[in-house]
Amino acid sequence: MKIFKNREPMKTSTKCIWATIVTLLVAAVGFYFTLPAINPYSETTWSMLFVLIIVWGVVYIFLSVTSGVAARQKGLKGYLGLSGVKWIGLVAAIPIAVLLVGSLISSTFFNAEAYSNIIEVPEAVFEEDMPETDTVTNIALMDSESATIIGNRTLGALSDVVSQFEAGYSYSQINYGGAPAKVTNLEYVDFFKWLNNRETGIPGYIKVDPVNSDAEYVKFEKPMKYVQSAYFGENLQRKLRFSYPTKIFDEITFEIDEQGNPYYIVSCLSPKIGLFGAMDVNEVIIFNPVDGTGELYAIDETPSWVDNVFTGALASQKYDWYGMLGNGFWNSVIGNKDCKVTTDDFGYIVLGDDVWYFTGVTSVSSDESNIGFIISNARTGEYKFYPVIGAEEYSAMQAAQGEVQEKGYVASFPSLINVSGEATYIMVLKDSGGIVKLCALVNVENYSIVATGSNQTEAKEAYVKLLLENGIITEEETPEPEKPETKSADIKVTDIKTMVVDGSSVLYITDESGILYKQSISADESVILIGVGDSITVEYTDTDIEKIKQMVSWKNK
């Protein structure tokens, strides 16, 4: 211990200053890289405070030991510089106590009734809110996995883009032009791609049609500067945190407005119960990734074009509080009287101008059946409950898979439609590569009634036929199918191909704008007389795929 004998002791104030400087440096570096919210309602804030107190204490003790103070202290305690540990320990205990006490007073154990009253869930009439339709255009049948595959395929065809960028990390479900769409912005592939392209920015995004299973790359008028894959000050999370240091962020979702301009929708959370309990969205930031500006909105003031404020997971969580805790905490654990929960996934429905989450509701004690289902507005957080009793979603998915079990297709999580007054699950069936192959409809009340088709129209026609055969509906209840509008066009044939579809030869004629007109040769043998370069007049109807038309008739001009 003689090493400290002749050293002058460091003053307590000096040690405090140095410990504070080091702690502030650690805090600054930690804040820059971990980006926590500086908010007393954030558990991360208190955890970070505990770590910083420990850092301060370690530096203070280290300086005490190495400054010569120990040389004039008696005993091991003095040598180790532990005279102030007691106070450092007491201070460090404060954030730990806040975390423990805050979690306790915010728990469902003490606040079961408050949790159950977080939301209101009025009962609604299924047939009124979801009228019958001849074609399904408001259901996002494609899941994110399939959207990713189709989006990557579209991006892969753009050699000048795919070498520098990749599709974003997730696809957002939005309502665009009155129809569902899945969108994701491009991201930089790595640090060097960001370094090479940061001056020009992110050039565009991928838009997937989840109804017709196609995708397109759309270029921005002005490129995006702030994205998740950028670095330093251009990183999206860092830019948001530096702009809004006190906000507790939840989901950050990419969307486009009705003019095609890019935005990030950033949901901000706050507790509704105690210090940390029932975290819910209370505000939303609409962030412009082109110029880095943002605007903060209250939930009821959010512009109508925004679709994603509440997540599907949060919507389900809030309903589970509502359904499980209405009769108290102990009932949710032991008795389970009147307890109900959502199934563990959700689908999407576009109603009006909004995206809604759909998920079934089942009694805790029930087996493979739903007592109804809920929809929740992704922008406003509004709920509706429909008391439609029947099979739960996974049973319906298994029934659809069993219909084509020899093919090994996998069903997506379904949504719900009204077919001839019958609540009906609708879903797609995918192959092992995630490509959509079939559309399936399953009756909610009787999931043995399953129909499949290569598209929605075929599946629905087969399903209605099954409803008639099983006596569930009568001919009088079957709506007259709406005849598709016949249109006319003068085209010049640029390409002709013949393909075998379901055992029949089908001729595909391509015009100068890339539109394909198809006709079964067995239905009209005269189409084989059409040659490349011919100018013809075609009568046609639209199909589910925008660029493919069904030819009705033709003639030379």
d(CA 269, CA 262): 23
Specify the long-range contacts of residues 93-102, CB closer than 8 Å, at least 24 apart.
Answer: 95/46, 95/47, 95/49, 95/50, 95/53, 96/50, 98/46, 98/275, 99/43, 99/46, 99/47, 99/50, 102/43, 102/46, 102/274, 102/275, 102/276
Q: Do 241 and 175 belong to one domain?
A: yes
- pLDDT tens for each residue of 416-440: 888 888 899 999 899 888 788 888 9
d(CA 203, CA 169): 16
Q: Do 497 and 525 belong to one domain?
A: yes
> Rounded to 5 degrees, what angle do the CA atoms 337, 338, 342 make?
125
Q: Do 258 and 375 belong to one domain?
A: no
- pLDDT tens for each residue of 481-496: 556 778 888 899 999 9
- Domain with 539, as residue range(s), is 487-556
End-to-end CA gap in the chain: 107
Q: Do 164 and 305 belong to one domain?
A: yes
d(CA 120, CA 465): 39
Amino acid at 430: K
This prediction's pTM: 0.80
Q: Do 283 and 325 belong to one domain?
A: no
What Cα–Cα distance (Å) separates residue 170 from each residue in 104, 178, 259, 316, 457? 35, 22, 22, 20, 29
Label residue 548 by pLDDT band (50, 70, 90): confident
Domain count, the chain: 5
Check residue 347 and give its pLDDT: 87
Residue 133 included in any domain: no
Check residue 132 and give its pLDDT: 78
Q: Do 346 and 366 belong to one domain?
A: yes
Residue 380 included in any domain: yes
Check residue 303 and give its pLDDT: 94
Q: List for the chain the helix, strand, coil content (%; round to 5).
A: 35, 35, 35
Q: Do 171 and 293 belong to one domain?
A: yes
46 pLDDT above the threshold of 50 = yes
Percentage of residues in the chain having pLDDT higher than 90 = 52
Mean pLDDT of 323-332: 93
- pLDDT tens for each residue of 283-304: 999 999 999 999 999 999 999 9
Pairing of strands 516-520, 548-556: parallel
The tokens 């009025």 sit on which residue? 122
Q: Do 337 and 272 belong to one domain?
A: no
Q: Do 532 and 497 belong to one domain?
A: yes
Percentage of residues in the chain having pLDDT higher than 70 = 90
Q: Do 250 and 383 belong to one domain?
A: no
> Which is higher by pLDDT, 38 or 87?
38
CB 322 within 8 A of CB 116: yes
The torsion region of residue 522 among left (phi > 0), alpha (psi -120 to 50) and beta comes to alpha
- pLDDT tens for each residue of 141-168: 777 788 888 888 888 888 778 888 999 8
Mean pLDDT of the chain: 87
d(CA 196, CA 307): 33
- pLDDT tens for each residue of 119-146: 999 999 988 888 776 666 657 777 778 8
> Which is higher by pLDDT, 249 or 546?
249
Of 28-42, 79-93, 105-119, 245-259, the least confident = 79-93
- pLDDT tens for each residue of 66-101: 765 444 444 445 444 455 678 888 899 999 999 999
CATH for 543: 2.40.50
What Cα–Cα distance (Å) separates residue 341 from each residue in 369, 434, 538? 12, 29, 54
Tokens of 197: 């392209």
Tokens of 553: 């008739």
Label residue 195 by pLDDT band (50, 70, 90): very high
Residue 136 included in any domain: no
d(CA 474, CA 286): 51
Q: Do 262 and 179 belong to one domain?
A: yes
Q: Do 399 and 366 belong to one domain?
A: no
d(CA 140, CA 427): 9
Residue 119 included in any domain: no
Residue 540 included in any domain: yes
Domain boundary at 253, 276, 309, which? 309
Of 6-10, 269-273, 283-287, the least confident = 6-10
Tokens of 194: 């960001």
Check residue 366 and give its pLDDT: 65
Residue 117 included in any domain: no
> Which is higher by pLDDT, 520 or 29?
29
Residue 34 included in any domain: yes
Residue 375 included in any domain: yes
Check residue 483 and give its pLDDT: 62
- pLDDT tens for each residue of 346-402: 888 888 788 999 999 998 876 668 899 999 999 999 999 999 898 889 999 999 999
